[in-house]
Amino acid sequence: MKTHGLHHVTAITGDAQRNLDFYTQVLGLRLVKKTVNFDDPSSYHFYFGDAFGTPGSILTFFVIPGARPGTRGTGEISATAYAIPGGSTGYWVERLKAYGVLTESISTRFGEEVIRLADPEGMIIELIATDKVPAPQGDRSAIPQWAENPVPVEHEIRSFHSVTASIGRVPSTTRLLTDVLGYKLVGEESERTRYTAPGTDGLPGHPFDVLATPGMQRGRQSAGSVHHVALRLKDDAEQQAWLSRLASNGYRTSPVMDRMYFHSIYFRDHSGILFELATNPPGFTHDETVETLGTTLRLPPGLEGARRQIEGMLPPITPFVSEVAPAL
- Is residue 325, in this structure, part of any structural domain at all? no
The per-residue pLDDT for 198 is 74
Residue-number span of the structural domain to which 225 is assigned: 6-318
Which parts of the chain have pLDDT scores under 70?
A: 136-137, 145, 199-204, 320-328
Please answer whether residues 61 and 106 qualify as being in contact, where contact means their C-beta atoms are separated by less than 8 angstroms: no
- Is residue 323, in this structure, part of any structural domain at all? no
The per-residue pLDDT for 255 is 97
First CA to last CA across the chain, in angstroms?
46
Task: Please work out, in degrees rounded to the nearest 5, the angle formed at the alpha carbon of residue 196 by the alpha carbons of 191 and 201.
Answer: 160
In the chain, the number of structural domains is 1
The per-residue pLDDT for 326 is 46
Q: What is the dihedral of CA 184, 188, 191, 192, to 10 degrees?
A: -50
- Is residue 166, in this structure, part of any structural domain at all? yes
- Is residue 326, in this structure, part of any structural domain at all? no
The per-residue pLDDT for 324 is 47
Please answer whether residues 206 and 197 qualify as being in contact, where contact means their C-beta atoms are separated by less than 8 angstroms: yes
The residues pairing with 117 across neighbouring beta strands, listed in sequence order, are: 103, 125
pTM: 0.94
- Is residue 324, in this structure, part of any structural domain at all? no
Q: What is the CATH number of the domain that holds 215?
A: 3.10.180.10
The per-residue pLDDT for 325 is 46
- Is residue 1, in this structure, part of any structural domain at all? no
The residues pairing with 220 across neighbouring beta strands, listed in sequence order, are: 71
- Is residue 150, in this structure, part of any structural domain at all? yes
Count Cα atoms within 13 angstroms, Cβ side, for 145: 20
- Is residue 328, in this structure, part of any structural domain at all? no
The per-residue pLDDT for 25 is 93
Going from the C-alpha of 153 to that of each of 139, 143, 229, 252, the distances in angstroms are 10, 14, 27, 43
Go through the chain and tell me how many residues it has.
Answer: 328
